[in-house]
Structure 1
Amino acid sequence: MAVDAQTFRAVLGQWPTGVAVVTTTAGDRWHGMTASSFSSVSLDPPLVLVCLARGIHTHELIERSGVFAVSFLGKDQTGIGHRFAGRDRGDRFAGQPWTAAPTGAPVLGGALAWLDCRVAHAYPGGDHTIFVGEVLAAEVSRRTAPLLFHSRAWGQLADPLPDEVTLADTGLAAALDRRLRGFGSARTRVTPAGAALLLDSVHAAGVRVRVPATALPSAVQAGADQPGADEPGAAVPRRPSWSTLVEEPARLPVLPHGAPIMVEVTDTPGALRLIGAARERGLGVVGRVPDAFAPARETEVLAAADRLVAAGCAEVALDEGPDAASPLQVRNLLQEAVPRVRPVPLRVRLREAYGLGPANALTAMKSGVRHFDATLGGIDGGLCAEDVLFLAARLGVAAPIDRAALVTAATDLEAIWGSALPGRTYRLDRPASGPSEGGPFR
């Protein structure tokens, strides 16, 4: 039984594809059309194919000229796609940075990438012709999410969840130090011994912990590796499990050459010099961009991320500022930033404000983020570490972290903090016995 055209088109519409503009040249004029029937064919030699209906003008011109170019569109270029699909009248090439490729076919300067091709083969394909092109020139112009075509609709990249997330606690040590110095509630029972035990407990649970350079464990101060998964020959790569925020070069000599620690550097006028000095000591560097999700800062933040990657940072971190970001703001920035810094890992530090924290964490995960900076109990206004893990577990996302140990640590923290913690989920499965017995909290 033959398949009718309407059913065939509906079925094919369920297969999402990228959107490209196929262009060619005829004399001193350019021509082009939107196409989704594109595919790679061979790596050696580099070959691609486009399928064009026989009755259209572009088909005739490619057949005559023997050349074509393909420009891949980004998520922000729907208007260009519509124009070359014939939905808008007027000059299709007006208002955009089109330039001639080596074959003479035009390529879009703002496209994600482009290919310049010479027709190597042309095969009949029903009411279409399959043009196989030998790629003569190619370029990746920028990195962002692609424009997709699915079920006769134009959209953005689907949002798959990561297979794993990791955590770093970047706020607990500073919050405990403030309490030790007498700031905050008079009911606090924070002691130096209790603070040290909490930091060790969070670290033992599998969370990277930020501490002052002068408070690093003696093994790290000596440049020794951490035990367990960080041992040579372990199944997973060595991951520094401590970090320290360095704001001036004078603090670096405290850290031995090649110590298993991440140096955190905030993007300031002196950041590049500090990053270079840390790398000269064989230390991994996290470049941090403050107030990254503020409206109207996207261009500035992306430029900062570019600088940090170029400077050799092992990770780039985007920190939410004092004004609560919306999930839309988080999504818009991360869809640009994640592919832009790849393969350098991008991490985010989000705040818990007006209940937006978990929503923003979910948005970040679905935007390609796998690494989160949080704080035990959320005591500094940052996203609560246990809440991030609770969310990940409910989404079926793995984490190489012992959440039960973090819940115990949060319960112990509550006992010395003098009040309930901002974090929510640790109360759901806290140990029945309450704070750890026999420790410095009793």
Structure 2
Amino acid sequence: MALDTRELRRCLGHFATGVTVVTCDGAGSPHGATVNAFSAISLDPPLVMVSVDRGSRICGFLDGTPFTVNVLTKPQSDVALHFAGRPMDGEPEWVRPDPGLAPRLAGALATISCTPWRHYDGGDHVIYLGRVAGYEVAGGDPLVFYLGGFRHLGPVYETVPWLESGDCPTVSCFPASV
């Protein structure tokens, strides 16, 4: 059965994601791309993953290069659009971190600075794993993407649902052996 890629994209859009901009040094200046394919991978070693379109400019810059994942905050939709190809008025504000790390964006909810770990073929994308070298959290509400548009979070739940599930790694659903 052949899949209709437009319909598949629409189906996948039902998964709400945070919005990030992956930044690095590219051709002698800061460069970035809006990416919603970002995930935490491991705490030991500390690894994160970004997946970028093989045909994008940033894909050519990321091989063997430190990068920063900038988690955008709710008021940064113009920044997300800027790095998705719709330039905003003016330029985004850059922050230069320690030597050897990639530039980051001012005003982000969180930034995760990474050194290159591995990269893998992901079809029309390349999957980059970065080892976390540093991070900062500023606080605020995240920018969320769902069904082709930016959204806002709803109310916070009183409890975290998975803490009481059998899948929680710190809770055993099996009795201790006798």
TM-score above 0.5, yes or no: yes
Q: 2:123 aligns with which of 123, 126, 130?
A: 126
1:102 CA drift (Å) = 4.0
Q: 1:149–1:47: structure 2 CA closer, same or farther, 3 Å change rule? A: same
Q: 1:3–1:160: structure 2 CA closer, same or farther, 3 Å change rule? A: farther
Q: How does 1:365-376 map to 2 (within 5 A)?
A: none
Partner of 2:166: none
Q: What are the superposed Cα offsets for residues 205-248 of structure 1, whole Å, 9 maximum, x if unpaired? A: xxxxxxxxxxxxxxxxxxxxxxxxxxxxxxxxxxxxxxxxxxxx
Give the structure-1-normalised TM-score.
Answer: 0.34
Q: How does 1:2-401 map to 2 (within 5 A)?
A: 2-26=2-26, 28-63=28-63, 65-88=64-87, 94-140=91-137, 142-160=138-156, 162=158
1:68 CA drift (Å) = 1.0
Kept in 2, the 8 Å contact 1:39–1:48? The answer is yes
Whichever structure has more helix as a proportion of its residues is 1
In structure 2, C-alpha distance between the alignment counterparts of 1:123 and 1:35, rounded to whole Å: 17
Q: If you compute each CA radius of gyration, which structure gives the higher value, 1 or 2?
A: 1
Q: 1:62–1:37: structure 2 CA closer, same or farther, 3 Å change rule? A: same
1:105 CA drift (Å) = 1.3
Whichever structure has more strand as a proportion of its residues is 2
Structure with larger RCO (C-alpha < 8 A, sep 6+): 2
1:161 CA drift (Å) = 5.5
Q: 1:144–1:87: structure 2 CA closer, same or farther, 3 Å change rule? A: same
Kept in 2, the 8 Å contact 1:98–1:109? The answer is yes
Kept in 1, the 8 Å contact 2:79–2:92? The answer is no
In structure 1, C-alpha distance between the alignment counterparts of 2:121 and 2:51, rounded to whole Å: 10
Q: 1:60–1:90: structure 2 CA closer, same or farther, 3 Å change rule? A: farther
In structure 1, C-alpha distance between the alignment counterparts of 2:40 and 2:28, rounded to whole Å: 29
Kept in 2, the 8 Å contact 1:101–1:116? The answer is no
1:98 CA drift (Å) = 2.7
Give the structure-2-normalised TM-score.
Answer: 0.82
In structure 2, C-alpha distance between the alignment counterparts of 1:10 and 1:27, rounded to whole Å: 34
In structure 2, C-alpha distance between the alignment counterparts of 1:155 and 1:99, rounded to whole Å: 30
RMSD between superposed Cα atoms in Å: 1.9
Q: 1:36–1:30: structure 2 CA closer, same or farther, 3 Å change rule? A: same
Kept in 2, the 8 Å contact 1:102–1:137? The answer is no
Kept in 2, the 8 Å contact 1:25–1:106? The answer is yes
Partner of 2:165: none
1:108 CA drift (Å) = 1.6
Kept in 2, the 8 Å contact 1:51–1:128? The answer is yes
In structure 2, C-alpha distance between the alignment counterparts of 1:97 and 1:69, rounded to whole Å: 12
Structure 2 stretches lacking a partner, 5+ long? 160-178
Secondary structure of the structure 2 residue equivalent to 1:157? coil
Structure 1 stretches lacking a partner, 5+ long? 164-442
Secondary structure of the structure 1 residue equivalent to 2:81? helix
Secondary structure of the structure 2 residue equivalent to 1:78? helix
Residue identity opposite 2:155 in structure 1: D
1:6 CA drift (Å) = 1.1
Residue identity opposite 1:40 in structure 2: A
Kept in 1, the 8 Å contact 2:101–2:114? The answer is no
Q: 1:89–1:113: structure 2 CA closer, same or farther, 3 Å change rule? A: closer
